[in-house]
Structure 1
Amino acid sequence: MTVFILVPGMFTGAHVWEDTAARLTSAGAEVHAVALTGPGGAGRDTVDLETHIADVLAVIDRVVARARQQIVLVGHDYGIHPVLGAADRRAEHIGRIVYLDAGIPQDGVPALAAVPDPTLRQELAERAGTGGPQGELSAPARDEWPRWGSTEGVSGAALDRLTASAAPQSLRTLLQPLRLTGAAAALPATGVLCEGSGASIEMVQRGVDLGDPVAQSLADPWVTFFELPTGHWPMLSLPAELTEVLLRAAAGGGHRLVPAGEGEQPAHLRPFVLDVPDIPRERNGQVDLYLPGAEGPRPAVVFVHGGPVPAGALPAPREWPAPVGYARYTAEQGAVGVTVAHRLHDVADYARAAADVAAAVELVRADPRVDEDRIALWFFSGGGLMTAPWLRQPPPWLRCLAASYPVMAPLPYLGPVDGRFRPVEAVADAGDLPVVVVRVGRETPAIAATVEEFLTASEKCGAVVEVIDVPHGRHSFDTVDPTEESREAVRRAMRSVLGRLTG
């Protein structure tokens, strides 16, 4: 018999698993939903991550003392921290760890790092720094749950029950670093990704293809993945589907990632959708220039790749087929095409990468072959967050800002992002700066939601935004979808950007 030990996340208890636990039991499994110790009474400040690890260990030890059975540990959200802490100490008794819409905690890193709201994360860090971890974090009000994860799919009644049963969280549980020896790293594992939170198997595979060190281990043969079309609370929104996934995970089922270098060519290295001239690059530090044949100072389009991309990725992002293709196409049309090297290697790097881009732009503007007063910036994918500083204070020489399949608001599943990089908020200050957004119809739901949020904010403030739709296009359509629709979308976007530079 398979034994499932279900560990809840922030503010919740064993009750959140009721429906899923009942379904697993009906399927013949043994189920234990863990009630993590909560703050309360005179000793509330003593509850920390080690307390919760002990809670999970106690259940494991009771199961092991009775019979040797396969134990599947399931950690939701914050619950993955005590799960990993316990699995690290009882690795010989664990058959599989299931990460349910959870991050991948690392040794020495506290759960605070995974809190999605940057304002709240900073507030908690400051509170800890002024006298040590004290007190508790109040349970969310009904309208505050989205700060902790997408509520997509959760009914109003279920959200009411979640709110009514929520309990405060001891701050020490978030501030105490997780300590791991590495014993749990070799255990079979399954990631259950919730699309409403922005995660997808495709995006994890992209991390493997890019050489992300953390993602490489996810391509091990004993690691599997499932996707659920819902938000952060699948035990409330899709309990039947979650039950099926957990049973299949226990049996070793699920999608396995392809190790880097195997299988088909990764998306970022596939050919650009347009046939463009083989114009050579001219490298100047962190920028590559692709120069047109026309004489005299020419307008320039600076292309900013997305990310995060692991440091040392080869080829370097500014040499990928898409940025190079766009830059050469720009030169073919009579303007200077520019690709940029920036250091967006982690979600914590946005400020550093934005500074790299700003320095690169000044280098381009100082080139005598460039018309310094006619510059466009074109951002891609995760680079979209770096549009915020330019939207907030557009310089007079910036004639156009473009963004293709962009991320326009931080995605919680990627981790905390500097609050300055929120285009949805910055667009209110864009004035009459023309903005071109290339939107794909088959975008991942979480990224699509950020684009719609940006467009809604743009409409409210009267920003000048042109949307170019690629109805059947996917993220990175300009390399993964070699269709006439894709080619025409690239042509339209280029005409729009260059038109604002030369008009």
Structure 2
Amino acid sequence: MATFVLIHGGGHGGWCYGEVSPLLRDAGHMIHAPSLTGCGDRKHTVTSSTDLDTHITDVVNLMEFEDLSEVILVGHSYGGMVITGVADRVPARIRELVFLDASHPTDGVSLRMNAPHRIEPAYAGMRVVDGVELVLFPQPGWAAFFGIRDPDDVAWAEPRFTPHPWKCFDQPLLLHNGDAAFKLPRTNINCTETLRDSPEDMRRRQLDGHRNFEIDTGHDLMITEPGKVAEMLLSVAA
């Protein structure tokens, strides 16, 4: 039995793994798919200080309080920032990192710096609500922004998107333990569309895993192709 911790991306919550988690669980594995502070079902917990470090701490605390070990730590999109930070803090608890069409940060780099062509448009729509800077405000047709086009998937996902704290995208990742996070085995599961549209330096990082998979689908691949994602994650567990 393997232990999976599934981390969502910006504007999402643990709900986005709703079709992947049962497939992994039915195969006999333990699954944790938390919503990070201020996101999804925890949108009410957001504060003006919620940032990348907050989300790294969310996951570290989950792993420590549940005493998880040999974790296959999966991060989607912005979640790549989070799982890299977690791997830096508690590398001994992690068996492998899986980047699910995700950001591949290095020390001192924020998501805004890592993917400006995607984050600057989000910043342009930033609003301050109750003293908190938020981006990715849901709107009609928002599912298409994440590559979700099937009508049933759209109907399920669109009511669940939530705004995301801007500081998470703007705060640089600061590593505490040298290159510990980069010594762990890593798997990349990329979307064909993302690979095609990525700058060359980003594409190199997307293909530098010990294993690299590709799915021809939209960015929210855990929603659009849950069976294929689960199959690839099960191959990592095996």
Query: How far apart, CA to CA, are the structure 1 residues paired with 2:77 and 2:216?
Result: 17
The whole-number CA distance in structure 1 between the counterparts of 2:186 and 2:139 is: 33
2:54 corresponds to: 51
Match of 2:140 among 139, 142, 147: 142
Separation (CA, whole Å) in 1 of partners of 2:135 and 2:26: 36
- Cα shift readout 1:301-323 (whole Å, capped 9, x = no counterpart): xxxxxxxxxxxxxxxxxxxxxxx
- For the residue of structure 2 that corresponds to 1:46, the secondary structure is coil
1:231 matched to 2:218:
yes
Q: Match for 1:215 among 204, 215, 231?
A: 204
Q: 1:109 to 1:42 in 2, by over 3 A?
A: same
Q: Determine the structure 2 residue equivalent to 1:182.
A: 179
2 CA distance for matches of 1:42 and 1:236? 25
Matched, 1:120 2:121: yes
DSSP 3-state at the match of 2:155: helix
CA 1:33–1:117 in structure 2 vs 1: closer, same or farther (change >3 Å)?
Answer: same
Cα distance, 1:192–1:199 mapped onto 2, change above 3 Å: farther
**What is the CA–CA distance in structure 2 between the aligned matches of 1:111 and 1:118, rounded to whole Å?**
7
Query: Alignment RMSD, CA only?
Result: 3.0
- Within the candidate set 180, 193, 198, 1:196 is matched to 193
**CA-CA distance at 1:111 after TM superposition:** 1.6
Instruction: Report the CA distance between 1:59 and its aligned residue.
Output: 1.9
Q: Residue by residue, what CA displacement relative to the aligned partner does 1:269-314 show, whole Å, maximum 9, x if unpaired?
A: xxxxxxxxxxxxxxxxxxxxxxxxxxxxxxxxxxxxxxxxxxxxxx
The higher radius of gyration belongs to 1
Q: Which residue of 2 aligns with 1:337?
A: none
| Post-superposition CA distance 1:398-452 (Å, at most 9, x none) | xxxxxxxxxxxxxxxxxxxxxxxxxxxxxxxxxxxxxxxxxxxxxxxxxxxxxxx
CA displacement, residues 202-246 of structure 1 (integer Å, 9 cap, x when unaligned): x99xx6xxxx69938955xx7110111211111111111110001
Match of 1:32 in 2: 32
Aligned-residue offset at 1:47:
0.9
Contact 1:142 1:159 in 2 (8 A): no
Cα displacement string for residues 81-112 of structure 1 (whole angstroms, at most 9, x for unaligned residues): 11111111111111110000112112111122
| 1:310-389 equivalence runs, <5 A | none
The gaps in structure 2 that reach 5 residues or longer are none
Q: Distance in 1 between matches of 2:167 and 2:49?
A: 8
Tell me, what secondary structure is at the counterpart of 1:226? strand
Contact 1:142/1:160 (<8 A) preserved: no
- Residues 1:172 and 2:175 aligned together: no
CA offsets 1:452-498 (integer angstroms, 9 cap, x no match): xxxxxxxxxxxxxxxxxxxxxxxxxxxxxxxxxxxxxxxxxxxxxxx
Hey, what does 2:95 align to over in structure 1? 95
Of 228, 234, 237, the match for 1:241 = 228
Distance 1:142 1:162 in 2: 11
Compute the displacement of 1:135 (Å).
1.9
In the aligned structure 2, how far is the partner of 1:94 from the partner of 1:234?
Answer: 23
Q: 1:403-422 counterparts in 2 under 5 A?
A: none
Equivalent residues in 2 for 1:423-502, closer than 5 Å: none
When residues 124 and 182 of structure 1 are mapped into structure 2, their CA distance, relative to the original with a 3 A threshold, is farther
Q: TM-score, normalised by structure 2?
A: 0.84
Which residue of structure 1 aligns with residue 154 of structure 2? 159
The equivalent residue for 1:362 is none
Shift, 1:141, TM fit? 1.4
Task: Work out the number of aligned pairs and report it.
Answer: 230
Counterpart of 1:165, as a letter, is: R
Counterpart CA distance in 1 for 2:70 and 2:49 is 32
- d(CA) in 1 for partners of 2:157 and 2:206? 35
For residues 28 and 107 of structure 1, do their structure 2 counterparts lie closer, same or farther at Cα, with a shift above 3 Å needed?
Answer: same
* Cα distance change of structure 1 residues 89 and 119 upon mapping to structure 2, 3 Å threshold: closer
- Name the amino acid aligned to 2:216: P
Distance 1:41 1:144, change over 3 A: closer
> Aligned equivalents of 1:223 and 1:171: distance in 2?
32
* C-alpha separation in 1, matches of 2:5 and 2:211: 19
Unaligned 5+ runs, structure 1: 252-503
Distance 1:165 1:95 in 2: 31
CA displacement, residues 355-407 of structure 1 (integer Å, 9 cap, x when unaligned): xxxxxxxxxxxxxxxxxxxxxxxxxxxxxxxxxxxxxxxxxxxxxxxxxxxxx
Query: What's the secondary structure of 1:142's corresponding residue?
Result: coil
Q: Partners in 2 of 1:46 and 1:102 — Cα distance?
A: 24
Amino acid at match of 1:8: H
Q: Percent identity?
A: 29
In structure 1, what residue type is equivalent to 2:188?
G
**Aligned residue type for 1:192:** I
- Identify if the C-alpha distance between structure 1 residues 158 and 146 changes in structure 2 by more than 3 Å, giving closer, same or farther: closer
CA distance in 1, matches of 2:179, 2:62: 21
Q: Secondary structure at the match of 1:135?
A: strand
Asked if the contact 2:37/2:55 (under 8 Å) is kept, the reply is: yes
Contact 2:12 2:161 in 1 (8 A): yes
After superposition, the Cα gap between the structure-2 partners of 1:142 and 1:52, relative to the gap in structure 1 and judged at 3 Å, is same
Aligned AA for 1:61?
E
State the alpha-carbon separation in 2 of the partners of residues 15 and 53 from structure 1: 19
Q: Which residue does 2:84 correspond to in 1? A: 84
In the alignment, the residues of structure 1 paired with residue 230 and residue 99 of structure 2 have an alpha-carbon distance, to the nearest angstrom, of 14
Asked whether the 8 Å contact 2:37–2:45 carries over to 1, the reply is no
| Alpha-carbon distance, 1:31 to partner | 0.5
Matched AA of 2:137: A
Query: 1:70 corresponds to which residue?
Result: 70
- Tell me: CA distance 1:186–1:157, structure 2 relative to 1, closer, same or farther (3 Å): same
Residue number in structure 2 paired with 1:250: 237
- C-alpha contact 1:44 1:135 (8 A) present in aligned 2: no
